[in-house]
Amino acid sequence: MVGIIAWVSGGFLAAGIFFMFTGAIGLLRLPDFYTRLHATGKCDTLGEVLIITGLLIYHLFYYPETPLVLVKLLFLIVFLFLANPTATHAIMKAAYNTGVKPWKVGDKRM
Amino acid sequence: MTEKKRGKGFGILVTFVTMFLFWLLLSGFFDAFHITAGIICSAIVALISHDLFMKEGGLARDKLFKLLLYIPWELWQIVLANFDVAYRVLHPKMPIDPRIIEFETTLRSDFALVTMANSITLTPGTVTILVEPEKGKFWVHALAQAPADALLVDKTMQTKVAEVYGEW
């Protein structure tokens, strides 16, 4: 039983790290400001939430005597889902208003 | 006038209670010192920012329930979005064709517009750039043609958000 829990939470952590890693690769490979925000804005949200879910499961079965930590982690997930897209949108709006040119197919990398 | 005054006091009270419960939840200490400190802090926050927390025309209960039904669908879309972006990023040729699209919706209220804008940002290959509340108009940066068509042609998300808030 304990072994299975460790594997399940480890699986969530691994999936989370995969998406964070993809976000980092996207940040390096994609051609311009807007497309890079796509990679970081989306992959980071899911990656972070998956990592926190893994920690939640681990904590639930290994340290059941401190349930307050679980509630805090749950709140963290909620705030991530609200704050991450909002921040992405704010950065993108600022870039658009200051006239950053979007990249089109065939243009040079910026 | 009295009606308005009562509304304000009620707003402060609700904010105070919420803040204090949140304090108890996060602190985990229940001795006299921590509880007194919590009451003082919650009171200050409630006095300063009750009008931000209890905005007039908040969410009605039936809308909140529909919103809870909308969230699982949205979570699934987020997972799809991430696989889509991961595929485009990791593919050797990077099949991207970025474009900026604009479209109008029937949404008007703040909650509906925020839900729509955040959903767009979290789902496959699209990020909200600008929102114009008067016309419910959205400017969206799309990573390729396919995700743009999901908003321009299929309009699944607009329909679902409009259904939640009853704004056809």
pLDDT (tens digit, 9 = 90+) per residue, A7-35?
Answer: 999 999 999 999 898 888 888 887 888 88
Query: Could you tell me the two tokens for B82?
Result: 């991430």
CB spacing of A96 vs B139 below 8 angstroms? yes
Domain count, chain A: 1
Please list the pLDDT of chain B residue by residue as tens digits (168 residues). 344 455 677 778 888 888 888 888 888 778 888 889 989 998 998 888 877 766 655 556 677 777 888 888 888 888 887 888 888 888 877 777 777 877 777 777 777 788 888 888 777 678 888 888 777 788 888 877 777 777 777 777 777 777 777 766
- Which of B94, B97, B118 minimises the CB distance to A86? B118
A3 min Cα distance to partner chain B (Å): 27
Question: How many angstroms separate the Cα of A36 from the Cα of each of A88, B118, B145?
Answer: 11, 18, 17
Between residues 18 and 57 of chain B, which touch chain A (CB distance below 8 Å)?
25-26, 28
Dihedral sign from CA coordinates of B96, B106, A46, A92? positive
Residue in chain B lying closest to A35 (CA):
B143
Residue of A19, A86, A96 with shortest CB distance to B130: A96
Nearest chain B CA: its distance from A85 CA (Å): 6
Residues of A in Cβ contact (< 8 Å) with B141: 34, 38, 92, 102
**Out of B26, B96, B100, whose CB is closest to A72?**
B26
Which residue do the tokens 């989306």 mark?
A: A42
Tell me if A107 is assigned to some domain.
no
Q: Hey, what long-range contacts does A107-110 have (CB within 8 A, 24 or more apart)? A: A107/A31, A109/A31, A109/A32, A110/A31, A110/A32, A110/A33
Type of residue numbered A51: I
Q: Which domain holds residue A57?
A: 2-97
Check B98 against A102: CB less than 8 A apart.
yes
Residues of A in contact with B157 (CB under 8 A): none
Cβ–Cβ below 8 Å for A42 and B118? no
Give CA–CA dist A87/A25, Å, rounded.
20
Name the residue in chain A with its Cα closest to that of B25: A68
Average pLDDT, chain A: 84
Q: Is the pTM of this model over 0.80?
A: no
Task: Evaluate whether residue A103 is within a structural domain.
Answer: no
Is A9 inside any structural domain?
yes
Chain B residues in contact with A103 (beta carbon < 8 A): 98
Query: Cβ–Cβ contacts within 10 Å for residue B105, how many?
Result: 21
Q: Assess B1–A contact: CB distance below 8 Å, yes or no.
A: no
Instruction: Quote the CA–CA distance of B138 and B104 in Å, as a whole number.
Output: 6
The tens digit of pLDDT for each residue in A87-105 reads 888 888 888 888 777 777 6
Which amino acid belongs to residue B158? Q
Q: Which residues on B lie below 8 Å from A104 (Cβ)?
A: 98-99
